[in-house]
Amino acid sequence: MFNLISIVITGFFVGLLAEILYPGPVDLGFVKTVLLGIGGSIVAGVFASWRSGSTFGEGVNRAGCLASVLGALLLIWLGRHW
């Protein structure tokens, strides 16, 4: 149960950072912000696993958090342009 709560909280902060850093207005509600952050984390984790050949979800570090925000920014960009 605590794992689910931590995923939602982390997703919210990652999505919020992506909304703040994205150039231009991004008007999302709470649920979409959380989903954006979780999606960004998944995109970054899958890319990192593919790139390094390791398994998905081996731990949390600062580089992973930055990559999650970049993944969320990519999702915002994809949503705007496609």
- Residue predicted with more confidence, 59 or 12: 12
pLDDT digits (tens, 9 = 90+) for 21-58: 998 888 887 888 888 888 888 788 777 777 766 665 55
Predicted pLDDT of residue 29: 79
**Does residue 15 contact residue 72 with C-beta atoms inside 8 Å?**
yes
For 20, list phi and psi in degrees, rounded to 5. -70, -40
Map out the domains of the chain as residue ranges: 2-81
Q: Is the pLDDT of residue 70 over 60?
A: yes
**For range 4-10, the mean pLDDT:** 79
